[in-house]
Amino acid sequence: MHAVQLNKGWVTPRSPSVLRRTFFNLHHVLGGGPPSDHGTQRFKEKVVLPYTSEQLYAIVADVDSYKEFLPYCLDSRVLGPSSPRAKQNDPEATHFVDAELVIGFSALRESYVSEVSMRPHEWVKAKAKPSPLFKGLETAWHFRSLPKASHIRTPQTEVTFTLAFAFSSPMYAAIAGQVFQKLSSRMIDAFETRSQAVYGWRAP
């Protein structure tokens, strides 16, 4: 994967974007009793940005750069190709890598490895391998080019980000639960700011 060169200069104010936000607990969707304090939760964000799907995909596919802009990410690096089993788990993907991320907030600092699958210009998904911190962690970025309207000068891409997580213990849930409940909106904000830094501010 290649790092994306940043444009020099100040990042100008963010362009207006359309944002839709939904919150729900995966346990309720799948059925069952009341979730525990460290049960699985899922969050979803949508935003329309004035860039092409190719441009936005390139930012998310550049895992090594996550430490430069994602909230609470202290380090990020691609370890190498994923195992052949990854293709069986996600046959629609064309690229697979294992990546290590180090996250930290308050007194917590933990690293974990994710299996990252990609379909160029369409989506990037990551599923964390078992770790002391997470019982489960999955993220996905989807990019959909929107039809160009005559009154809009720039390309428009709908970005959908989903986050599902469950902590391995009530202790971790108590420490990090509130942070992760706000993480999806912070991820979208950081991604939009990064897009402006890399490609420049664009009026809608």
- For the chain, what is the HEC assignment? CCCCCCCCCCCCCCCCCEEEEEEECHHHHHCCCCCCCCCCEEEEEEEEECCCHHHHHHHHHCHHHHHHCCCCEEEEEEEEECCCHHHHHCCCCCEEEEEEEEEEECCEEEEEEEEEEEECCCEEEEEECCCCCEEEEEEEEEEEECCCCCCCCCCCEEEEEEEEEEECCHHHHHHHHHHHHCHHHHHHHHHHHHHHHHHCCCCC
Confidence of residue 132 (pLDDT cuts 50, 70, 90): confident
Predicted TM-score (pTM) of the model is 0.77
Express each pLDDT in 169-183 by its tens digit.
888 787 777 777 788
Domains, the chain, in order of start with CATH, read 41-72+118-199 (3.30.530.20)
Q: Is the pLDDT of residue 137 over 70?
A: yes
pLDDT of 100: 97
